[in-house]
Structures are given as C-alpha cells and as structure tokens.
Amino acid sequence: MTQTNEPNKETCTGNCSSCPSTTKCDDPRNADAQKGLPPKADVSVKHVVLVLSGKGGVGKSTVSANLAYALANRGFNTGLIDLDIHGPDIPKMLGIEEARLQSYDGKIIEPVKVTGNLAVISMAFLLPERNTPVIWRGPMKMTVIRQFLEDVNWGDLDYLIVDLPPGTGDEALTVAQLAPNIAGAVIVTTPQDVAVLDSSKAAEFIKKLELRVLGIVENMSGFVCPHCKEEIDIFGRGGGKKEAEQLGVPFLGSIPLDPEMRKAADEGRPFIIRKAGAEESPTWKSFDAIMQALVDQIEE
C-alpha cells in the first residue's frame, strides 16, 4: 500500500510541530519546510539587503561599506555582514582590522561597533593573522553563515547589509535561504560588457529565488583627469543602465572612478563620511543619490 503525506483536513489541528504531514501542511508558518528549505535564522531585522556581483573587482565591498555607513548616518540601526569568507575586506575598509570578536554565555557573539548604530561581523575578526587563508568547503561556510545571522547580538536592526563574494555559489544561496525579511538585492557592475554579462547572471539568480532586484549600480563609470579635467571612459559607460533596462529592474545610479575613493578604502575611512568638499564631489553626490534611491525602492 502506498503511504501519502497528505494531512487529514478533518482532524488537522494546525499544530505543525508534531504533525507527521508537516511538509504538506497548509500552515503558513511552515512555508519553508514545504519547499524543502532550512528554517529562517532568528534575527530581528526589518530589511535585509544583499549586495552581490557576477564577478570580482567591480567594487562590491566598497559599495557595501559606504552604503551601510550612509544608512547609519541617516539614523537607521544598521548591521553589515562580510560574507566574503575567503577574502574579507570590509574590516580594512572601515579601519577595524585589529578588532576581535567577543562572546558571552558561550554562544552569543558581540559584533564590532563602528559607530553607535553601525555594527559589523566578518571572518577577518576570527583569523590569527591578516594573511591566514580560509580553506573551507561548503558545509563549513553554511554553518558560519547561520552563526553570523542568529548567534550575533545584533539587537533590533532597521537594515542588515550583506556583502557577498562574487558569483552565485554557496554563500549567496545560503544567506538567501536563511535570512528573514529580505528586501532584495543590489547588483554591482562596471560598464564593460564582460562585467555586465556576469551581473545579468547575478540578477537572474535573484529572480529565480523569487527575490527582488532592488537595482543595479554601475561603478567605475567615467574618470575625470585631475590635471586636464578631461573625462575619460576607461571602462566604458552606460553598460549598467542598459542592462537594467533590458532586465526590467531599477538603475540606482553610477559612481565615477575616483582615486579619492581608493585612498579612503586603504585608509579605513569610508568615502561617504568625508565632509570637506563633499558638496562639490561628483562621487560623493553619486553615493548619496544611490543610497536615497535604494531606500525609496525598499519603501515602495
């Protein structure tokens, strides 16, 4: 005789925790189990924003760090998770390389505070030396991702920015399945065709997970020579905007290729917090406009 997993509608009490037909139960609390997905991590956050790209070297971590700082500066309680486990750069960009994680009760981890309302977690805080490689397979990474979400004392967050490694592998898939209240994903690209091609794959990856693409950011878009003031399109221009139109997703804006941004990252001071000359800086204006466009997308 064939046994089915269909629940008995006449006797179902709605108590899915003890129901032998859990994977078929109509209770919305068990939606993830119905899809064969792991349970969501227990973290109090209103909006989780994933930042990813199809390839490396497009400035994804720069966008993540500055975006998190910009949100915190606007009064939002903000968390930032550096999930580039094999190449964590966020602590360097925020000037907190020497920080180490503390825990209490043998489990709860205290994130590193950058400001009163900006907290960060990164694999870099756990490494004995800055050049120590992380040589892990998928299951190890999946375990630490869940720990970074629910074993960290985040408090009540308005935003949790997740900086992901390039591509659509273990880290991106795991956090997309575990994180609650995902507002959507920001795709970072540079203008040239090769980068745009890979960014389109990242966008389709997000759509296949039935998540929202909040928009595309085109980084390194144009360069103004500091000597002759001539504008040069080193990596081209407009590729990100064109791709956003083709994919039917918002274009959040473009960021110029600016030596000051590289300098800010190396010094551990996010570009967005600079005050001197900010109003005259096209790069600063671009970042501020992108942050506002992102908030508008989420509020919609």
Q: Which residues are annotated as a binding site for ATP?
A: 54-61
**One-letter identity of residue 297:** Q
CA–CA separation, 185 and 206 (whole Å): 7
CA distances from 52 to 24, 69, 112, 130, 278 (A): 33, 17, 22, 23, 27
Contacts by 98-103, CB closer than 8 A, 24 or more apart: 99/125, 100/125, 100/126, 101/125, 101/126
CA distances from 16 to 5, 32, 33, 113 (A): 13, 12, 10, 39
**Locus of tokens 């040589």:** 135
Tell me the β-bridge partners of 108.
Answer: 104
Cα–chain-centroid distance for residue 229?
Answer: 34
* Known binding residues: 54-61
Residues whose CB falls within 8 Å of the CB of residue 210, separated by 6 or more in sequence, listed in order:
none
Residue 91 φ then ψ, to 5°: -60, -40
